[in-house]
């Protein structure tokens, strides 16, 4: 009986070790703790009220670290950079990338959700439509979601108002290259068609991922993100390496110098935290103590 009870409590503990969004980083000679916070672009700002210790963690640090410096996005030079990256530079057009039926389907979507026809922007990269499709679908089908209120921006705004230094792990140019140049135009078109072919399923997947985030269940978020349908719509290992694994490893190399300089509040996408090659494990492998904040 005692053994069964022990195994039961061990199982409960194991299930909850990643059931948290905020993590405390100590050890390895750090003079003060830093904190690692998982964010989600589709989560309402109201979730901050349910994250235990979040405001204390933010107040106790002197710099905020994000994937990007969000204030840089609206600078004229970066707006121009985005406009450049999102457009096709070769002779290819959207009409040549899609079959007639797929072209009509995508055009119907952009007319209904994005208020433009493909004929108006024949050189727009399919990845741009895909990235915006996620948000506009969610806005239309989920109540009380405001895409202008995102956690990443919130933490950096709070940091700026409190006189904290803002640091970025990546440049906008780097992220735009991942979004718009890391796969061929043909693959971008294929993935866009995959996403728009079953919008109810896409909505369901987004809702499940967001519900897991609100429940602060990183393990469930990881499980949902790793679900596969066994066809060409699934992300390839190379695509996952580019989007997730390689970036995690790069960040894990950059973070020690930053948190040794100043106690930091690190806010990055929640899916970068869990898993064997997530930031939690990568930082632990370097000798840091990473503990959930309860």
Give residue limits of the domains in the chain. Answer: 34-292
Residue 1, pLDDT > 70, answer no
What is the C-alpha to C-alpha distance for residues 125 and 127, in angstroms, rounded to an integer?
Answer: 5
Q: Any residues with CB less than 8 A from the CB of 117 and at least 6 apart, and which?
A: 107, 110, 111
Pairing of strands 34-39, 289-292: unpaired
Q: Is the CA virtual torsion 225, 227, 228, 229 positive or negative?
A: negative
Q: How far apart, in whole angstroms, are the C-alpha atoms of residue 52 and residue 184?
A: 43
pLDDT of residue 163: 97
Q: How far apart are CA 123 and CA 96, in angstroms?
A: 10
Q: State yes or no: pLDDT of 116 exceeds 90.
A: yes
**Residue 7 confidence (pLDDT):** 35
Cα-Cα-Cα-Cα dihedral sign, residues 226, 230, 234, 240: positive
The predicted structure's pLDDT at residue 180? 96
Q: What is the mean pLDDT of residues 98-104?
A: 98
Q: Who contacts 271 (Cβ-Cβ below 8 Å, separation ≥6)? A: 38, 221, 222, 225, 244, 278
Q: How far is CA 143 from the centre of its chain?
A: 21
Instruction: Read off the pLDDT band of 147 (50, 70, 90).
Output: confident
Pure H helices in the chain: 2-16, 54-59, 76-85, 94-97, 100-109, 126-141, 151-161, 172-181, 185-197, 199-214, 218-225, 237-240, 246-261, 279-285
Q: Report pLDDT digits (tens) over 264-273.
A: 999 999 999 9
Residue 19 has pLDDT above 60, yes or no: no
Work out the average pLDDT over 208-216. Answer: 93
| Tens of pLDDT, residues 235-260 | 999 999 999 999 999 999 999 999 99
> Which strand ranges, in their side-by-side order, compose the sheet holding 289-292?
165-168, 63-66, 264-269, 34-39, 22-26, 289-292
Nearest to 162, CA basis, from 250, 267, 270, 55: 55
> Quick check: pTM over 0.85?
yes
Lowest mean pLDDT among 134-148, 189-203, 211-225: 134-148
Tell me: pLDDT of 13 over 70: no
Residues in the chain: 294
Kindly indicate the confidence band of residue 143, based on its pLDDT and cuts at 50, 70 and 90: low
For residue 17, what pLDDT is reported? 45
Q: Report percent pLDDT > 70 for the chain.
A: 93
Residues 6+ apart with CB under 8 A from 228: 234
CA 106/CA 97 separation, integer angstroms: 11
- The pairing of strands 34-39 and 22-26 is antiparallel
Determine the Cα–Cα distance for residues 261 and 263; give it in Å rounded to an integer. 7
C-alpha distances in Å from residue 127, one per residue of 35, 83, 176, 217, 286: 33, 13, 10, 29, 36
Other CB atoms within a 10 A radius of the CB of residue 162 amount to 12
pLDDT over 90, % of the chain? 79
In contact, 289 and 25? CB cutoff 8 Å:
yes
């Amino acid at each position: 009986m005692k053994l069964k009870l022990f195994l039961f409590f061990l199982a409960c503990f194991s299930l909850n070790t990643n059931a948290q969004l905020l993590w405390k980083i100590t050890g390895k000679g750090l003079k003060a703790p830093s904190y690692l916070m998982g964010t989600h672009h589709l989560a309402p700002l109201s979730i901050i009220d349910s994250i235990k210790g979040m405001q204390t963690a933010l107040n106790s640090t002197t710099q905020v670290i994000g994937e990007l410096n969000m204030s840089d996005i609206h600078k004229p030079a970066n707006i121009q950079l985005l406009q450049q990256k999102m457009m096709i530079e070769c002779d290819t057009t959207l009409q040549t990338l899609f079959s007639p039926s797929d072209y009509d389907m995508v055009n119907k979507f952009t007319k209904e959700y994005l208020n433009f026809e493909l004929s108006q922007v024949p050189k727009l990269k399919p990845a741009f439509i895909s990235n915006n499709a996620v948000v506009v679908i969610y806005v239309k089908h989920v109540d009380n979601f405001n895409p202008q209120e995102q956690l990443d921006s919130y933490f950096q705004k709070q940091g700026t108002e409190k006189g904290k230094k803002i640091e970025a792990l990546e440049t906008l140019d780097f992220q735009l290259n991942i979004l718009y140049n890391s796969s061929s135009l043909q693959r971008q078109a294929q993935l866009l068609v995959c996403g728009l072919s079953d919008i109810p399923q896409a909505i369901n997947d987004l809702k499940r991922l967001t519900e897991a985030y609100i429940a602060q269940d990183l393990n469930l978020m990881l499980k949902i993100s790793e679900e596969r349908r066994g066809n060409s719509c699934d992300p390839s290992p190379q695509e996952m390496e580019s989007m997730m694994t390689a970036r995690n490893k790069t960040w894990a190399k950059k973070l020690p110098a930053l948190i040794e300089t100043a106690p930091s509040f690190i806010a990055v996408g929640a899916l970068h935290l869990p898993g064997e090659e997530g930031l939690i494990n990568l930082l632990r492998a370097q000798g840091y103590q990473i503990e959930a904040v309860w």
